[in-house]
Structure 1
Amino acid sequence: MHIYTGMSSKVKVDSIDTSNLSLSYTYFESEAFVGLIQKITHHITFIPSLDGGSVYKNIFVVIGKPDAKLPEDQIDRAKESLKKTFKAIESYVIAHPEAY
């Protein structure tokens, strides 16, 4: 959750599968979700498309702490943050195809 500037969290890469164009990583011990969330795991896959591009799929799994209630506005902000982050990466890759 990159929506809280200046707060720290630990990130662990769970898997990288270059043959299937997928990656999984987990945020944990974050100052951003103390008391609410134990961890958030992202499962990212790039699916090649017929036009030579790819489809980006990001599923994230949130494991809450017992009896914690995550406010809906925080979920919405997290989703919006992920969209903005993806758009920024997409813009960079399109502008610099030689880098990849």
Structure 2
Amino acid sequence: MSTPFTAAANAYGNISRLVSDQASGKSPLQQAEAPGADFGQLLADQLQNVVEAGKVSDQASMDLVNGKASVVDVVTALAETESTMETMVTVRDRVISAYEEIMRMPI
């Protein structure tokens, strides 16, 4: 049984809204009463890290084209971006797997 496409699209939409709200200073998340990290905030921060890594690798690529950077700098930036993307994909897969498992639980 696989997750419907619309459920995945809705999840991505929610994360996108979360990141844009966080960037604009709005906080749709309520702070947790218990001490510890807020999972939604953690995801938003990590997604922002992916976006920033992508921007860094784009800038490094443009610098290479303009002769301002070396190939090593570009390869390093791309490897860092790939690593952060793989981490986010792994987290996404685990969240979807947990969601599917919860949905299979009898009520």
TM-score normalised over the length of structure 2: 0.32
* Rg comparison, structure with higher value: 2
Structure ranking higher in strand proportion? 1
Give the number of the structure with larger relative contact order, counting CA–CA contacts within 8 Å between residues 6 or more apart: 2
> TM-score by structure 1 length?
0.34
